[in-house]
Structure 1
């Protein structure tokens, strides 16, 4: 997957249509994509959700 495909897939899977993250312009394997997605979810849980509470 290229950068554009990864961003499109993240927007769909995370249900964040306005997400506009900055990621490296390279080819991503499925494993790299899953790690990137897990990191974003962890970041959201650790920083964004904690601010809301």
Structure 2
């Protein structure tokens, strides 16, 4: 999948219609996409939620 498709899918799955993130210019496999999504969620949990607490 292309970087634009990755971004569109993230917006839909995370329910964040205006979400923007820099996505490397390459074709992504399903496994790479899932890893990318997991990394984003881990980053959010580790850094963003820690600021709230």
- TM-score, normalized by length of structure 2? 0.94
Q: Unpaired segments of 5 or more residues in structure 1?
A: none
CA RMSD, 1 decimal: 0.6
Match in the other structure for 1:25? 25
Aligned to 1:16: 16
2:3 maps to 3
Q: In 1, distance between residues paired with 2:16 and 2:50?
A: 19
CA distance in 1, matches of 2:46, 2:33: 20
Displaced runs of 4 or more, over 4 A: none
Give the TM-score normalised by the residue count of structure 1.
Answer: 0.94
Whole-angstrom CA distance in 1 between matches of 2:27 and 2:33: 10
How many residues are paired up?
A: 53
Is residue 46 of structure 2 the alignment partner of residue 46 of structure 1? yes
